[in-house]
RNA sequence: GGUCCUGUAGCUCAACUGGAUAGAGCAACAGCCUUCUAAGCUGUAGGUUCCAGGUUCGAAUCCUGGCUGGAUCACCA
C-alpha cells in the first residue's frame, strides 16, 4: 500500500465531493509535516480556496473530516491556517511496512526494456587518474545504478582520449630520456610511468620556452617554436600517417596506461560495458558536415572552412571544419553521437558525465544536433559537475598539486585502518577480512564525500580534514548497517522469527518507528527524484536521514528487552528492512556496507 | 565585454521544486556506556538565506538590477 498516493486520491475525492472540483490525485502534492506540528503529512489548502470559496481553516476542516470518516489511513487531523496536518493510524503504518518488508526489491522496478547510455571517465592516456576523475567516475557509475533501479537497461561507456598531442608529448620524452624503461623494469604502474614522461616533457618544454623568451621571442612564438614541441608535433604527424614505428610505440605506451587504469578502476569499483577510443572516432563527423550544408544549417566561408551561426540562439559562431578540411572536436562529437544512436536505435538517453567547464560545448553540440533534426537530440544530456578544488586552489598537473586517485584511495584506507584500530573493533577478524573492511570503509568515506554534494556545485577538498568518519559520512551509515547486522545475527541465533504481515500487537508504535517507516515508504520516490535530477546526492541525503532516524530508535527502544513477542519480532523485521534499504541505497552510490565494523 | 553556473550558521552541505518559526553534520560547550557495536545518542550556542527592488495569501526558491566567486566564448582538446 502506498500511503502517499492513497491519501492524495482520497483528498482529491474530498475536494471533488465537497466542492464540486475536478481534480486528480496526480495534481496534488503532500509534504512532510514540520516537526513543530503534530502529524505526518501536510496538505496545503491555500491553492484550493478559490474552489472551496471558504476560509483556509474551514476548507481544512471539511477535507479533514471527510478523510477521518472515509479513510482508514487518517486517524486524526489538525488545521493551522491553510495547513491540514494528517495523522496516519498505526494500522496503516504497519500495513505499509509489511508490504515493504516482504518485497526484497522494494524501491526497485522491474526491467522496462528501455535503454540509456551513460558515458563517464573519459581519461587522457598521458597521465594517471586524479581526484577529478574520482568525482566523475563515482557520479557516472552512481547515475547508471540509479537508472538501473528504475528498470532501464544501462550501457556504461567510456571514451578514451588515446590520441593527440598529449600522448605524443609522453612518447617524445620517453624516447629521449626513457632508456627503454618499462613498467616491468621500473616496477611502476603503467599510467604512472607514462605520466612521469609527460611531466618530463613539460619540464623540458618550459625551460626551452623560457630560454627562447629570454632571447627575445614572444611567449606565443616561443611556445610554438620550442624544439621539443616541434618534435611532439612531428610525432603527431607521423602517427596520423600511421608510420609503423611511431604507431607501435603509441600502442605500447597506451597499453601500459590501460593496465594501470584497470587497476585503478578495479580499486574504485567502477566498470564499463563499452569502450570507445578516440583514435577510432576522431575522423568521424566530417560526413555530417555535408548534410548540414545541404540542409542550409551550416555555411562555408571563402577559405573553405565550415561554420554554424548560433547567434540567434544567444550563442556564437562555431567552426565545424577547418579551412584545411580537418575536423575539430565538436565535429567529432556530432559524429560519435550519431554513430551511437545508429548502433543502438532504441537508445532513449545519452548521458555525458563531463565537468562544467564544458557546459558551453554541450549546449552547442545538442543545439546543432537539434538543428540537424535528429529526433533523439532531446535525449542527450550533459551531466555537468563542478570542479574539485584544493585549499591551495585549482589542481594543476604542471605545478604538481594534483591529488592522485591511487594515492588518495590508499590514504583513505590507511585512515580507516587507524580509526578501526584506535576503536579496537576488529576482534576476530583475520587479515584478509580486516583489509577488506579498511577498503570498504575508506572507499565508502571517499565516495560518500564526493557524492553527497549536488553535482553541479564545485567543491573543496581538504586532504587534512575533509573526510570525516563521524556525522554525515559513509562510515556513519556503514556503522548503522553493521549494528543492525549484529542484531539480526543475534535474532537468528536466538531463534526469533520474522514478523508476519497479518500480525498485530498491543500498544502504539514508537514515534521513531513511525518516522522510519515513513522514510522507508519514500525510498522509491527518492530514487525517482535522484534520476530526474541526475543527482546521487538525493540518495545520499536520504540514506543519511534514514540511518540517523534509525539510530534514534536504536538508542531509545529496546529490542531484545521487549516483552511482547510480536512486538519484538516486529522490531527485528523493522531493523531488517532498514538494513536492506541502507544496503541497496548505498549500492546506488557504489558503496559497499560491512556486516561488522 | 557576451553567455552560463554559483552565493544559506565559523566550516561542509540540506531545505521534497512557491508553504508554517530556514534544517543536518563538523568544529565549540554540557551530558549519556554494569543493558542490543559510543564510528552512536541527547542538549546548548550559532542566521539580515550576498544586496536592492518587484510578483502574491506566502519568496532562500520566480522576475529585474547590482555585487562576490567560478567556468566559457580559439582554424585547442
What does pLDDT average to over chain A? 91
- Is residue A1 over pLDDT 70? no
- Domain assignment present for A262: yes
- Is residue A127 over pLDDT 80? yes
* Residues A447 and A535 reside in one and the same domain: yes
Stretch among A243-257, A379-393, A469-483, A535-549 having the lowest mean pLDDT: A379-393
* Residues A78 and A213 reside in one and the same domain: no
| DSSP alpha helix (H) spans, A226-285 | 227-240, 244-268, 278-281
Å: A560 CA to B32 C1': 20
What pLDDT is recorded for position A397?
67
- Domain assignment present for A554: yes
Contact, A164 CB vs strand B, < 7 Å:
yes
Mean pLDDT of A397-403: 74
**For residue range A464-508, what is the model confidence (pLDDT) as tens digits?**
666 789 999 999 999 999 999 999 999 999 888 777 777 777 778
- Is residue A380 over pLDDT 90? yes
**For residue range A190-244, what is the model confidence (pLDDT) as tens digits?**
999 999 999 999 999 999 999 998 998 888 888 888 999 999 999 999 999 999 9
* Residues A190 and A46 reside in one and the same domain: no
- Domain assignment present for A448: yes
* Residues A459 and A547 reside in one and the same domain: yes
User: Which of chain A's residues 209-248 bind strand B, using a 7 Å CB cutoff?
Assistant: none
What pLDDT is recorded for position A116?
97
| CATH classification of the domain holding A422 | 1.10.730.10
Domain boundary among A55, A88, A121: A88
- Is residue A579 over pLDDT 70? yes
Residue A262 banded pLDDT, cuts 50, 70, 90: very high
Burial level of A344, CB count in 10 A (0-12/13-18/19+)?
middle
What pLDDT is recorded for position A283?
81
Q: CA dihedral in degrees (A124, A126, A131, A132; nearest 10)?
A: -30
Contact, A489 CB vs strand B, < 7 Å:
no
Give nearest nucleotide to A417 (CA–C1'): B39
Mean pLDDT of A26-55: 89
**For residue range A335-372, what is the model confidence (pLDDT) as tens digits?**
999 999 999 999 999 999 999 889 889 999 999 999 99
What pLDDT is recorded for position A399?
67
- Domain assignment present for A492: yes
On whether the CB atoms of residues A479 and A571 are closer than 8 A, the answer is: no
- Looking up cell 479533514, which residue turns up? A64
Contact, A325 CB vs strand B, < 7 Å:
no
Residue A387 banded pLDDT, cuts 50, 70, 90: confident
Calpha distance A383→A157 (Å, rounded)? 14
Residue A398 banded pLDDT, cuts 50, 70, 90: low
Contact, A34 CB vs strand B, < 7 Å:
yes
Nucleic acid strand B: bases within 7 A of protein CB:
2-7, 11-17, 19-21, 23-27, 35-42, 57-58, 70-77
What pLDDT is recorded for position A381?
93
The phi-psi region of residue A32 (left if phi > 0; otherwise alpha if psi is between -120 and 50; otherwise beta) is beta
- Is residue A286 over pLDDT 90? no
Contact, A161 CB vs strand B, < 7 Å:
yes
What residue is closest to B18 (Cα–C1')?
A47
Mean pLDDT of A450-457: 90
Contact, A533 CB vs strand B, < 7 Å:
yes
Q: Which domain holds residue A253?
A: 164-266
DSSP letter assigned to residue A157? E
What pLDDT is recorded for position A226?
92
**For residue range A545-564, what is the model confidence (pLDDT) as tens digits?**
999 999 999 999 999 998 88
**For residue range A288-322, what is the model confidence (pLDDT) as tens digits?**
888 899 988 999 988 889 999 988 887 888 999 88
Domain boundary among A31, A56, A88: A88
Give nearest nucleotide to A456 (CA–C1'): B5
Domain boundary among A243, A266, A289: A266
- Domain assignment present for A555: yes
DSSP run (H or E) holding A523: helix A511-533
Å: A548 CA to B23 C1': 14
- Domain assignment present for A343: no
Q: How far is CA A291 from the centre of its chain?
A: 36
Contact, A331 CB vs strand B, < 7 Å:
no
Give nearest nucleotide to A323 (CA–C1'): B75
What pLDDT is recorded for position A253?
97
What pLDDT is recorded for position A465?
64
| CATH classification of the domain holding A58 | 3.30.1360.70
Q: Count the Cβ atoms, other than its own, within 10 Å of residue A443.
A: 22
Å: A55 CA to B47 C1': 33
Give nearest nucleotide to A85 (CA–C1'): B20
The ipTM (two decimal places) reads 0.94
- Is residue A526 over pLDDT 80? yes
Calpha distance A352→A347 (Å, rounded)? 14
Number of domains in chain A: 3
* Residues A570 and A447 reside in one and the same domain: yes
What is the torsional sign of CA A458, A461, A465, A471?
A: positive
What SS3 state is found at A465?
coil
Contact, A482 CB vs strand B, < 7 Å:
yes
What pLDDT is recorded for position A497?
76
- Domain assignment present for A94: no
Amino acid at each position: 500500500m502506498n500511503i502517499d498516493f492513497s491519501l492524495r486520491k482520497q483528498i482529491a475525492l474530498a475536494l471533488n465531493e465537497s466542492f464540486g472540483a475536478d481534480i486528480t490525485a496526480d495534481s496534488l502534492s503532500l509534504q512532510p509535516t514540520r516537526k513543530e506540528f503534530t502529524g505526518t503529512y501536510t496538505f496545503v489548502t491555500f491553492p484550493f480556496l478559490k474552489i472551496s470559496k471558504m476560509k483556509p481553516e474551514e476548507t481544512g476542516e471539511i477535507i479533514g473530516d471527510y478523510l477521518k470518516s472515509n479513510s482508514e489511513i487518517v486517524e486524526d487531523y489538525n488545521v493551522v491556517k491553510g495547513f491540514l496536518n494528517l495523522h496516519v493510524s498505526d494500522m496503516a503504518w504497519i500495513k505499509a511496512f509489511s508490504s515493504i518488508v516482504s518485497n526484497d526489491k522494494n524501491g526497485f522496478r522491474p526491467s522496462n526494456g528501455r535503454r540509456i547510455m551513460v558515458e563517464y571517465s573519459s581519461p587522457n592516456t598521458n597521465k594517471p587518474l586524479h581526484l577529478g576523475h574520482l568525482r566523475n567516475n563515482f557520479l557516472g557509475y552512481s547515475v547508471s545504478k540509479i537508472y538501473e533501479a528504475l528498470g532501464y537497461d544501462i550501457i556504461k561507456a567510456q571514451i578514451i582520449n588515446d590520441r593527440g598531442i598529449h600522448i605524443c608529448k609522453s612518447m617524445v620524452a620517453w624516447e629521449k630520456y626513457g632508456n627503454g624503461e618499462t613498467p616491468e623494469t621500473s616496477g611502476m604502474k603503467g599510467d604512472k610511468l607514462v605520466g612521469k614522461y609527460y611531466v618530463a616533457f613539460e619540464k623540458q618544454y618550459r625551460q626551452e620556452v623560457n630560454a627562447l623568451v629570454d632571447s627575445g621571442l614572444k611567449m606565443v612564438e616561443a611556445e610554438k617554436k620550442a624544439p621539443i614541441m616541434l618534435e611532439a608535433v612531428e610525432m603527431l604527424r607521423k602517427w596520423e600517417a600511421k608510420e609503423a614505428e611511431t604507431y607501435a610505440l603509441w600502442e605500447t605506451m597506451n597499453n601500459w596506461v590501460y593496465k594501470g587504469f584497470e587497476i585503478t578502476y578495479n580499486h574504485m569499483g567502477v566498470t564499463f560495458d563499452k569502450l570507445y577510443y578516440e583514435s577510432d572516432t576522431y575522423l568521424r563527423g566530417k560526413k555530417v558536415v555535408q548534410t548540414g550544408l545541404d540542409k542550409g544549417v551550416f555555411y562555408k566561408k571563402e577559405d573553405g572552412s565550415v561554420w554554424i551561426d548560433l547567434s540567434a540562439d544567444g550563442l556564437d559562431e562555431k567552426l565545424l571544419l577547418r579551412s584545411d578540411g580537418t575536423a575539430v572536436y565538436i565535429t567529432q562529437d556530432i559524429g560519435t553521437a550519431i554513430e551511437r544512436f545508429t548502433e543502438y536505435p532504441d537508445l532513449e538517453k545519452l548521458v555525458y558525465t563531463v565537468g562544467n567547464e564544458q557546459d558551453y560545448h554541450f549546449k552547442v553540440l545538442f543545439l546543432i544536433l537539434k538543428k540537424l533534426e535528429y529526433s533523439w537530440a532531446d535525449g542527450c544530456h550533459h551531466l555537468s559537475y563542478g570542479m574539485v578544488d584544493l585549499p591551495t586552489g585549482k589542481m594543476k598537473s604542471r605545478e604538481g598539486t594534483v591529488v592522485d586517485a591511487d594515492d588518495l584511495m590508499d590514504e583513505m584506507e590507511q585512515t580507516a585502518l587507524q580509526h578501526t584500530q584506535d576503536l579496537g573493533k576488529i576482534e576476530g577478524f583475520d587479515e584478509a577480512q580486516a583489509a577488506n573492511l579498511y577498503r570498504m570503509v575508506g572507499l565508502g568515506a571517499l565516495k560518500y564525500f564526493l557524492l553527497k554534494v549536488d553535482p553541479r556545485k564545485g567543491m573543496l577538498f581538504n586532504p587534512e580534514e575533509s573526510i570525516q568518519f563521524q556525522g554525515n559520512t559513509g562510515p556513519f551509515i556503514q556503522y548503522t548497517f553493521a549494528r543492525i547486522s549484529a542484531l539480526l545475527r543475534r535474532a537468528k541465533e536466538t531463534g526469533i522469527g520474522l514478523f508476519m504481515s497479518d500480525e498485530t500487537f498491543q500498544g502504539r508504535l514508537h514515534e521513531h518507528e513511525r518516522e522510519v517507516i515513513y522514510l522507508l515508504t519514500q525510498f522509491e520516490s527518492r530514487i525517482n527524484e535522484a534520476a530526474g535530477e541526475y543527482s546521487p546526492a538525493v540518495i545520499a541525503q536520504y540514506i543519511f536521514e534514514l540511518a540517523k532516524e534509525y539510530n534514534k530508535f536504536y538508542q531509545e527502544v529496546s529490542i531484545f528487552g521487549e516483552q511482547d513477542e510480536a512486538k519484538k519480532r516486529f522490531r527485528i523485521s523493522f531493523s531488517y528492512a532498514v538494513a536492506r534499504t541502507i544496503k541497496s541505497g548505498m549500492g546506488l552510490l557504489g558503496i559497499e556496507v560491512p556486516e561488522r565494523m
